[in-house]
Amino acid sequence: MPTRRTLASLALATLAAPAVNAQPAWPRRSVRMLVGFAPGGFTDIVARGMAEQYTALLGQPFVIENRSGASGTLASDVVAKAPADGSLLLFGHSTPNAVAAALFSNLPYNPLTDFTPVAQVAVHPHLLVVPAASPHQTTASLMAAAKAREGAVSYASSGIGSVHHLACEMLAKAAGVKLTHVPYRGSAPAMADLIAGRVDMTIDGVSAVGPQIADGKLRPLAAGTIARIARYPDLPTLQQQGYGNIDAMSWVGVFGPRGLPAEIVQALSDATDQAMAAPALQRVLAGGGSIPARLRGGAFHDFVAVEIERYKAVLGEARIPLT
C-alpha cells in the first residue's frame, strides 16, 4: 500500500508535469516581417516602427526584410505560401493586397483567401507634386503641357499597379491627356529621380513628398484625396480643380499566411493596439502624415474585399499580366 509520503510525491509530480510539458507562448523565436517595397518609403518606415514595438511587447525580435519588386507582390506571394506558424508575416500594402487583385490577370495568390488579416495600421493620403524647378505652378498648366504634346509629361510611381500609378492614370483620363509612366521599385528611388527632374510629376504619399516639400525640393499642386489634407489645409483637391472623383490614398497592415492560429492573431492584435498607443509609433505616423487605423481581424478582411471591388470598378475588365 502506498504511504502518505509516496502519495504526496505522486501528487506533486502530477502537478509539475503540465509545467514541464507545456509549450512556451508564441513567439518562441525571431519573427520575420516582409515588406514588398524598397527601404525608406512609407510602408518600410511604418513597418520598422511596428517591428520595434512588437519586439518590446512580445519579447522576441521582429526583423524587417525588404523584398521589393513586381508592385509589392513578390513579398506577398512568399508569405501566402509560407507555413502558418507565426514565423513569417507580411506588412502589407493596398497595392499588392487589393489593387493587384483588380489589375493583374495572373496574380499568384488570392488576397482574400491566402492571407489571415490581422490588423490595419495606418491610412496615408497622397498629393500631386512636381520638382521645385518645374515651370508648372498649377495642375492646369501641367495638364496643358501634356495635352500640347502626347507623352511629353512623365510621372513616377512605385510600380505598375501601385496607388500612385492608378491615381496618375485617373488624372490623365480626367484631363484627357496621355502621360508617360516611369515605374520604380518603391517611393524612395522614385523621389530621387523626381527631385532631380528626370521625371515630371507624381501622386505620392505625404511621408514621401512632405519632407521634400518642406526642404523646397518639390512643389505641391493638389491634394489627391476627396477631402483636403490636414497638413496642407490650403491645398485644393484634384476634385476641386475639376479633375474628377479621385481619392488617392494607401493603407498598410499586418497579415499572416492563411490559417494563422487564432491565439497568434489575438496576440498580434493586442500588441498592435498597445503599439498604437506608444508615443514613438505615434510620432512615426504623425511625421508621415498618416492616419491611425483600427480595423482588426474580420473587419480588416471585409475592408480589403471592399477595396478590391472599388479598384475593379476603376480598372474595369482590361487586366494586364504580372511581369
The pLDDT tens digits of the residues spanning 171-221 come to 999 999 999 999 988 788 899 999 999 999 999 989 889 999 999 999 999
What pLDDT, on the 0 to 100 scale, is given for residue 198? 97
Q: What percent of the chain is modeled with pLDDT above 90?
A: 69
Which segments of the chain are extended strands (E)? 31-35, 62-66, 88-93, 115-131, 154-157, 180-183, 202-205, 218-223, 249-257, 291-292
Q: How far is CA 138 from CA 118, 172, 304, in A?
A: 41, 15, 34
Region 288-306: mean pLDDT is 93
pLDDT above 50: residue 98: yes
Residue 93 backbone phi and psi in degrees, to 5? -140, 155
What pLDDT, on the 0 to 100 scale, is given for residue 179? 96
> pLDDT class for 270, splitting at 50, 70, 90?
very high
Output the CA angle 151-155-160, nearest 5 degrees: 105
Domains of the chain in sequence order: 31-123+250-315 (3.40.190.150), 125-223 (3.40.190.10)
Cell of 50: 511596428
pLDDT above 80: residue 103: yes
Q: What is the pTM of this model?
A: 0.77
Q: How far is CA 59 from CA 19, 72, 101, 202, in A?
A: 20, 29, 35, 40
What pLDDT, on the 0 to 100 scale, is given for residue 8? 46
Cβ within 8 Å of residue 146, ≥6 positions away: 152, 153, 172, 175, 177, 178, 179
CA distance 207 to 187: 10
pLDDT above 60: residue 318: no
What pLDDT, on the 0 to 100 scale, is given for residue 134? 98
Cell of 261: 492560429
What pLDDT, on the 0 to 100 scale, is given for residue 22? 45
Q: Which residues pair with 129 in a beta bridge?
A: 202, 220
Q: What separation, in Å, do the N-terminal and C-terminal C-alpha atoms of the chain show? A: 77
CA distance 58 to 267: 8
CA distance 1 to 235: 89
What pLDDT, on the 0 to 100 scale, is given for residue 20? 39
What pLDDT, on the 0 to 100 scale, is given for residue 314? 75
Q: How far is CA 80 from CA 112, 257, 275, in A?
A: 11, 5, 25
> pLDDT class for 227, splitting at 50, 70, 90?
confident
Region 140-165: mean pLDDT is 92
Higher pLDDT, 75 or 227: 75
> pLDDT class for 259, splitting at 50, 70, 90?
very high
CA distance 24 to 72: 34
From the CB of residue 310, how many other CB atoms can be counted at a distance below 10 Å? 14
From the CB of residue 25, how many other CB atoms can be counted at a distance below 10 Å? 11
